Amino acid sequence: MSWMKQQAEKAKSIQVTQEDQRKATETAPAAACTAPGHLMQLQATAEKQRKEIADLRIQLERASRGRRPVSRMHEVPGRRRKLTPEQYAELKANLQKFPLANPVVLEARPDGDWNINAGNNRVAIYRELGLEEIDSIVTDIDPADAERLAFFSNLFAPSLSDYEKYWHFQCLQDEADALTRQELAATVGLSDSHVSKIFAFEGLPAEAKEALIEKPERLGAEAAAHLAKAAAEGRNGAVVEAVRRLVSDAAFTQKEAVRSVQPQAAPRNIVGETLVVKVGKKSFCEITTRNGVIGVRLKAETDRVGEWAKEIQQFIESRLASKD
pLDDT digits (tens, 9 = 90+) for 145-195: 666 665 665 565 556 778 878 877 776 666 545 567 777 676 666 677 888
CA–CA separation, 145 and 3 (whole Å): 7
Q: Are strands 275-279 and 73-75 parallel, antiparallel or unpaired?
A: unpaired
| Contact call for residues 4 and 179 (beta carbons, < 8 A) | yes
Which tens digit of pLDDT belongs to each residue from 200-233?
Answer: 999 999 999 999 988 888 999 999 999 999 999 9
Higher pLDDT, 26 or 202: 202
pLDDT digits (tens, 9 = 90+) for 255-298: 999 999 998 766 666 667 789 999 988 899 999 888 778 889 99
Query: Was domain 54-197 assigned CATH 1.20.1250.20?
Result: no
What confidence score (pLDDT) does residue 257 get?
94
User: Does 302 or 323 have the greater pLDDT score?
Assistant: 302
**Among the listed residues 168, 250, 255, 171, the one whose alpha carbon sits nearest the alpha carbon of residue 217:** 250
Q: How far apart are the first and last CA of the chain?
A: 85
Answer yes or no: are the C-beta atoms of 229 and 203 closer than 8 Å: yes
Percent of the chain with pLDDT over 90: 30
Most distant pair of Cα atoms in the chain: their distance: 109
Q: Which band of pLDDT confidence, cut at 50, 70 and 90, is reported for residue 246?
A: very high
pLDDT value for 154:
58
Nearest to 153 by CA among 78, 44, 76, 61: 78
Cα 226-228-234 angle, rounded to 5 deg: 110
* 274 contacts 290 by C-beta, under 8 angstroms: no
Domain residue spans of the chain? 54-197
Question: Using an 8 Å Cβ cutoff, are 95 and 122 in contact?
Answer: yes
How many angstroms separate the CA atoms of 208 and 201, rounded? 9
Query: For residue 316, what are the contacts with CB-CB under 8 A and spacing of at least 6?
Result: none
* Spatial distance between the Cα atoms of 14 and 64, rounded to a whole number of angstroms: 39
Tell me, what's the pLDDT at 141?
67
| 114-118 and 133-139 strand pairing | unpaired
Per-residue model confidence as pLDDT tens digits over 102-154:
788 888 888 989 999 888 899 999 999 999 999 988 877 666 666 666 566 55
Mean pLDDT rounded to a whole number for the chain = 77
**Backbone angle region of 21, left / alpha / beta, with phi > 0 → left and psi within -120 to 50 → alpha:** alpha
Strands (DSSP E) contained in 52-141 are: 64-69, 73-75, 104-108, 114-118, 133-139
Distance CA 231, CA 239 (A): 6
pLDDT tens digit sequence for 57-101 = 555 555 577 899 999 999 988 778 777 787 788 788 888 888 887
39 alpha-carbon distance from chain centroid: 19
